[in-house]
Structure 1
Amino acid sequence: MSEGEIPSLLSLCVDAVKNELVRGDDLLPIVKELPWDLLDALASRLPPLGLEKLQTAMAYGDWDDGEFADEGLRNGRKRGRSWKFNAAWRNLSKVRWPELDIGIEPLDWQRIYWEMHLQNCLDAVAEIASLPSFDGRLSETRIPESILGLIGCEGFVHNSTCDYSELHHHCQQFGYYARCLRLQNVLCGAEISHLLRNSRLQRLELRWIRSKEHIAGLCKLLSQNSESLTSLELIHCKLSSASIDEICCSLSRKSVQTHGIKSFSISTSNFIETNPLSLPLGLVSFLSSGMSLYSLKLSDNHLGRNFAKMVFGTLINASSSLSILDLSDNNISGWLSELYWRSPSGPPIPLGTGKSLQSLRVLNLRPHRLY
Structure 2
Amino acid sequence: MATAPSLAFLCIQSLKLELLRGDNPTPDVYELPSELLDGLVAHLPALALLNFQTHMPFKCWDNYESGDDCLTRGRKRARNDVIGESWKALFKLRWPELIHRVEPPADWQQLYLEKHLQNCVDEAAEVAMRPTFIGRISSISVSDKILRYICHEEHTNCQNCVCTQLSFHFQTCGPYLRCLRLLNVLCVTETCELLRTSKLQTLVLRWIRSEKHVEPLCKLLIQSRETLTSLEFIHCKLSSSSISAICASLHDKDIHTIGIQRFCIKTSSIDIDPLAAPSAFISFLNSVRSFHSLHFCDSHLDRHIARMVFFTLLDSSSNLSSLDLSDNNISGWLSTFSLRSVVGSLSSGKSLQSLCKLNLRESCTCSSSYARLGVS
Return the TM-score normalized by structure 2.
Answer: 0.87
Q: 1:142 to 1:254 in 2, by over 3 A?
A: farther
Query: How far, CA to CA, are the matches of 2:26 and 2:254 in structure 1?
Result: 42
Partner in structure 1 of residue 373 of structure 2: none
Q: Which residue of the other structure, out of 354, 358, 363, is the alignment partner of 1:359?
A: 354
Task: For residues 293-336 of structure 1, give each alpha carbon's deviation from its aligned partner in whole angstroms, at most 9, with x where no partner exists.
Answer: 00000010111010000001101111420000000000101233
Cross-structure match for 1:349: 343
Structure-1 separation of matches of 2:223 and 2:251:
10
Q: Distance in 2 between matches of 1:14 and 1:255?
A: 56
Are 1:63 and 2:73 an aligned pair?
no
| CA distance in structure 2 between the aligned counterparts of 1:64 and 1:263, rounded to whole angstroms | 37
Secondary structure in structure 1 of the residue aligned to 2:17? helix
- Measured after TM superposition, the shift of residue 340 of structure 1 is 4.2
**Where do 1:289-328 residues align within 5 Å?**
289-328=287-326
Contact 2:16 2:152 in 1 (8 A): no
CA contact (8 A) 1:321 1:357 kept: yes
| Local SS of the residue matching 2:82 | helix
CA offset at residue 369 of structure 1? 1.4
In 2, Cα distance between equivalents of 1:328 and 1:135: 41
For residues 254 and 59 of structure 2, what CA distance do their matches in structure 1 show? 38
1:179 CA drift (Å): 0.3
Matched letter for residue 17 of structure 1: L
Taking a change above 3 Å as real, the CA distance of residues 64 and 183 of structure 1, as seen in their structure-2 partners, is closer
Unpaired runs of 5+ residues, structure 2, are 63-68, 369-376
Q: Is the 8 A contact 1:172 1:195 kept in 2?
A: yes
For residues 13 and 78 of structure 2, the distance between their equivalents in structure 1, rounded to whole angstroms, comes to 24
1:281 Cα deviation (Å)?
Answer: 1.3
Q: Is the CA contact 1:269–1:301 (under 8 Å) kept in the aligned structure 2?
A: yes
Are 1:24 and 1:161, in contact at CA under 8 Å, matched by a contact in 2? no
Aligned-partner Cα distance in 1 for 2:207–2:55: 41
* Counterparts of 1:24 and 1:56, CA distance in 2: 9
* Residue correspondences, number: 357
Q: 1:39 aligns with which of 37, 40, 44?
A: 37
1:82–1:57 Cα change, 3 Å: farther
Q: Structure 1's 38 and 254: CA in aligned 2 closer, same or farther, altered over 3 A?
A: farther
Amino acid at match of 1:150: Y
> How has the CA–CA distance of structure 1 residues 50 and 64 changed in structure 2, closer, same or farther, with 3 Å as cutoff?
closer
How does 1:126-145 map onto structure 2 within 5 Å?
Answer: 126-145=125-144
Relative to 1, partners in 2 of residues 1:253 and 1:178: Cα closer, same or farther, differing over 3 Å? farther
Q: Is the 8 A contact 1:48 1:92 kept in 2?
A: yes
Secondary structure at 2:296's aligned position in 1? strand
* Deviation at residue 4 of structure 1 after TM alignment: 6.3
Q: Provide the identity percentage.
A: 50
Q: CA 1:243/1:82 → structure 2, altered by over 3 Å: closer, same or farther?
A: farther
CA distance in 2, matches of 1:247, 1:216: 9
Q: CA deviation at 1:61?
A: 3.6
CA distance in 2 between counterparts of 1:88 and 1:268 reads 40
Is the alpha carbon distance of 1:352 and 1:231 closer, same or farther for their aligned partners in structure 2, counting shifts above 3 Å? farther
Q: Could you give the per-residue CA deviations for residues 204-262 of structure 1, whole angstroms, max 9, x where no partner exists?
A: 10000111121011110110010000000000111011111111111125872332100
Q: Distance in 2 between matches of 1:284 and 1:81?
A: 54
Contact 2:323 2:355 survives alignment (8 Å) = yes
Q: Which amino acid aligns with 2:115?
A: M
Structure having the larger proportion of residues in helix: 2
Q: State the distance in 2 between where 1:78 and 1:219 align.
A: 47
Q: 1:213 to 1:154 in 2, by over 3 A?
A: farther
Q: Alpha carbons of 1:258 and 1:160: their partners in 2 closer, same or farther (altered >3 Å)? A: farther
The answer on whether the counterparts of 1:341 and 1:351 sit within 8 Å (CA) in structure 2 is no
> What's the RMSD between the two structures over aligned residues?
2.7
Residue in structure 2 matching 1:86, options 77, 84, 87: 84
Specify the alignment match of 2:255 in structure 1. 256
> Contact 1:28 / 1:57 at 8 angstroms: preserved in 2?
no
Greater alpha carbon shift after TM alignment, 213-222 vs 80-89: 80-89
Q: In the alignment, which residue of structure 1 is the partner of 2:165?
A: 166
CA distance in 2, matches of 1:254, 1:335: 31
Answering whether residue 197 of structure 2 is matched by residue 194 of structure 1, we say no
Counterpart residue identity of residue 246, structure 2? I
TM-score (norm 1): 0.88
Moved more, 276-285 or 238-247: 276-285
Q: Where in structure 2 are the equivalents of 1:237-256 lying within 5 Å?
A: 237-252=236-251, 256=255
Q: 1:257 to 1:161 in 2, by over 3 A?
A: farther
